[in-house]
A and B are shown apart, each in its own frame.
Chain A
């Protein structure tokens, strides 16, 4: 059974710092992995999708990497801004459904 873990559960950093969020999964047989952002009580915004054959994807200040063999993905956020404050969720497409991590709650202090 696929399990997804995100570390840390919460992170608070000053504005301008570069930071890394971690996601690990137990079964390497995945189709893809998506990173989402969720603001409190709001919907899910897809940030990046990495197909199982890819190693990384970039969008603006975000870079996501995937190491399928070790069951790990990282989301790198460069030059963090207060507007980046949200919960970041990692979801693995395994067996045609998304299996979710519990998220990392990120707070960027001005």
Chain B
């Protein structure tokens, strides 16, 4: 069965650079979520999209932005990178947003290292 695809799997950037992470949800899933997991920490919700519109916002820094495209894939854009942005970034997808209790399926993550 198709799973959530994330690219790249690993990314190394320098401080103040920009990075773009991509997420391809499971086919027919209409909701995408982004999470950040710092070293030794539990994942933190960043932002989610439902039917190409931002639906919920968590602890996403103003330096980050995201969108969901017409084919439902999503991109997380990160600018002015800081050392503290080094983390695993997970994307998840689900079917249906409100009231359905949809299970979130996670991608393998993108490991971002900022030097």
Contact = CB atoms under 8 A, between A and B. Distances in A.
Nearest to A43: B108
Given A43-B90, A44-B106, A46-B106, A101 B42 contact: yes
User: For chain B, which range describes its interface: under 10, 10 to 19, 20 to 34, or 35 or more residues?
Assistant: 20 to 34
B33 A97 contact: yes
A103 B43 CA distance: 10
Contact of B45 (A34, A89, A99, A103): A99
B48 A46 contact: no
Interface in A7-41: 31-32, 34, 36, 41
Contact of B90 (A44, A52, A99): A44
A102 B103 contact: no
Contacts of B52: none
A97 B107 contact: no
| A-side interface size class | 20 to 34
B103 A49 contact: yes
Interface in B44-64: 44-45, 48, 55-56, 58
A95 interface: yes
A97 B45 contact: yes
A44 B43 CA distance: 10
Given A44-B43, A52-B101, A97 B58 contact: yes
Contacts of B45: 97-99
B107 A43 contact: yes
Interface of A: 31-32, 34, 36, 41-46, 49, 51-52, 89, 91, 93, 95-103
